[in-house]
Chain A
């Protein structure tokens, strides 16, 4: 080898994670969460049972914001790596719609099913749907980056139409509407605890982060460095399905979150997955919390579903990303 020895101060691959920005980010998101704890019509300080109401609604709601925000943002990131496409996430690939269909199917087949059973249905359907999408992508060699989300959104529309049809036939249309409008309103103690499962998913993503990054370089590079590409795809799909399925059952549809967050982080920090993950989580939590706060205060004392706010914000960012991509050529 060459005799050039690098000076000891030469920057390495690690060390970018713990700089001053991360604590600042954590502080900002923390402040938002505190704000979320104390936002609401019920006077948790004045009323006699204020403390109890606080524990029943505000704390669960805030925990749910953290878990759902982080999970959907990470699912989007993993999905973007596995498809090598910046425009996919669970709501632009039909994964969420499949989860909804699974949920509906369980509701019809097992009337009065527990939330755990419903979750299994949603996760299973989300997994099948995502696999269908990935297999389709493999067959289609022409991977224009814009065709991929278009196909996904089409697929999602078809699945969603099937769900609507079934719901019409079984008189469950209203329930369907409520589930799909993602909202943290109904997150109460005793009903949201399943969301902790996505915390496990988040930990798994942290552990496998490097493999996902390698998979993001494509099948050939992955094989070259000895990574079992198909196994990683399967693993990633499983994690995405679990996160999306659980969030869909407990909260509902959170559109565009998985799309905006990884793209913004990537634009600002590049794509070193391991050091980006905390940021992806933070930004996911931050955005979903802000949108939820807006939803809770905009027509007080009533609430607007968070999915509505997210949809508006997300669509705007999506268009911006498209324009930026076009400029870059």
Chain B
């Protein structure tokens, strides 16, 4: 369970995040949605202890993310930001191997190698594992990053807009991989999504963030309504019945 209590972050002057109180249960896939600048990524990065809080507490599986030693947290929660640009030339396998760093500190054991192989296979990167990252397409590279956080073998996985820059096919593939990770690997996945329809279809819970606060939180059925979406995104939204569930139409 991820628990946020009175979480606040001040960006000097008008921009403030919070106070946010939120409880995300263990298991399943939770999507953070909302307009640009609402504070979704800020909340996620605070959960992943990449950004400090000004007030309040965040606990993941009972561990306070500020108080707990970073190297211990690395075995409980992993976070992937959207901008990943490396100057280092690594192969897919070398990158994924860094997910084992919290356990092996760089000296990989046979068990580590096994987990790395499984993470690579899980994201269909088996044939690409010895390719350099700069030789991959955007979608393949994104999968390699996700494989890295999966090989970290943490119960909680936080992903900041993993569909960014992916085309339709790769976006769908990525969401299917994440769903499988949630179901088969028993991970709790929190993900910032831009496209409300992806959230509506693949998430178990949707958390709508606006102006630094959580304004709606519930199942896709509850969030995917004209009234809620219009209010959250400040643009007219009509939800229609699609062949595979509700679809938000906003153009």
A174: shortest Cβ distance to chain B, in Å?
A: 41
Question: Given A14-B108, A81-B88, A271-B89: A226 and B184 within 8 A (CB)?
Answer: no
A322: shortest Cβ distance to chain B, in Å?
A: 15
Asked if B48 and A6 sit within 8 Å, CB to CB, the answer is: no
Chain B interface size band reads 35 or more
Whether a CB of chain B sits under 8 angstroms from the CB of A221 is: yes
B81: shortest Cβ distance to chain A, in Å?
A: 5
A226 touches which of B71, B97, B117, B121 (Cβ 8 Å):
B71
A220 touches which of B70, B81, B93, B106 (Cβ 8 Å):
B81
Q: Which of A27-35, A57-65, A205-213, A285-293 is near enough to bind chain B?
A: A205-213
A148: shortest Cβ distance to chain B, in Å?
A: 11
Asked if A210 and B130 sit within 8 Å, CB to CB, the answer is: no
Asked if B90 and A271 sit within 8 Å, CB to CB, the answer is: yes
Question: Given A226-B70, A270-B89: A214 and B97 within 8 A (CB)?
Answer: no
Asked if A11 and B89 sit within 8 Å, CB to CB, the answer is: no
Whether a CB of chain B sits under 8 angstroms from the CB of A266 is: yes
Whether a CB of chain A sits under 8 angstroms from the CB of B118 is: yes
B102: shortest Cβ distance to chain A, in Å?
A: 5
Asked if A2 and B87 sit within 8 Å, CB to CB, the answer is: no
Asked if B98 and A1 sit within 8 Å, CB to CB, the answer is: no
Interface of B is mostly: mixed
A1 to B183, CA, bound (A): 10
Q: 1/0 per position for B63-79, CB-CB distance to A under 8 A?
A: 00000011111110011
Whether a CB of chain A sits under 8 angstroms from the CB of B210 is: no
Question: Given A85-B87, A210-B106: A220 and B118 within 8 A (CB)?
Answer: no
Who on chain B is nearest to A328 by CB?
B134
Chain A residues closer than 8 Å to B49, beta-carbon distance: 223
Who on chain B is nearest to A211 by CB?
B106
Question: Given A2-B118, A2-B122, A221-B98: A13 and B93 within 8 A (CB)?
Answer: yes
A11 to B108, CA, bound (A): 13
Whether a CB of chain A sits under 8 angstroms from the CB of B240 is: no
A4 to B72, CA, bound (A): 30
Asked if A218 and B50 sit within 8 Å, CB to CB, the answer is: no
Chain A residues closer than 8 Å to B198, beta-carbon distance: none
Whether a CB of chain B sits under 8 angstroms from the CB of A86 is: yes
Who on chain A is nearest to B49 by CB?
A223
Chain B residues closer than 8 Å to A2, beta-carbon distance: 118, 121-122, 184
A145 to B85, CA, bound (A): 12
Whether a CB of chain A sits under 8 angstroms from the CB of B132 is: yes
Asked if A224 and B79 sit within 8 Å, CB to CB, the answer is: yes
Whether a CB of chain A sits under 8 angstroms from the CB of B164 is: no
A10 to B114, CA, bound (A): 10
Q: 1/0 per position for B98-119, CB-CB distance to A under 8 A?
A: 1101100111100001101110
Whether a CB of chain B sits under 8 angstroms from the CB of A199 is: no
Question: Given A210-B105, A226-B70, A226-B74: A1 and B118 within 8 A (CB)?
Answer: yes
Q: A12-B113, A14-B108, A228-B71 are in contact. List 20 more A-B contacts (CB 8 A).
A: A1-B118, A4-B118, A11-B130, A12-B108, A13-B108, A84-B88, A210-B101, A210-B107, A214-B101, A220-B81, A224-B149, A225-B74, A225-B98, A225-B99, A270-B94, A271-B88, A271-B89, A271-B90, A271-B94, A274-B106
Q: Residues on B close to A: CB < 8 A?
A: 48-50, 69-75, 78-81, 84, 86-91, 93-94, 97-99, 101-102, 105-108, 113-114, 116-118, 121-122, 126, 130, 132, 149, 152, 184-185
- What are the 9 tightest A-B residue pairs by CB atom distance, in nearest-first order? A210-B106, A226-B74, A226-B71, A225-B101, A271-B88, A6-B117, A271-B89, A4-B121, A270-B89
Q: Residues on A close to B: CB < 8 A?
A: 1-2, 4, 6, 10-14, 80-81, 84-86, 145, 209-211, 213-214, 216-221, 223-228, 266, 270-272, 274
6 of the cross-chain contacts (CB-CB < 8 Å) are A12-B108, A217-B86, A220-B81, A224-B79, A226-B101, A270-B91
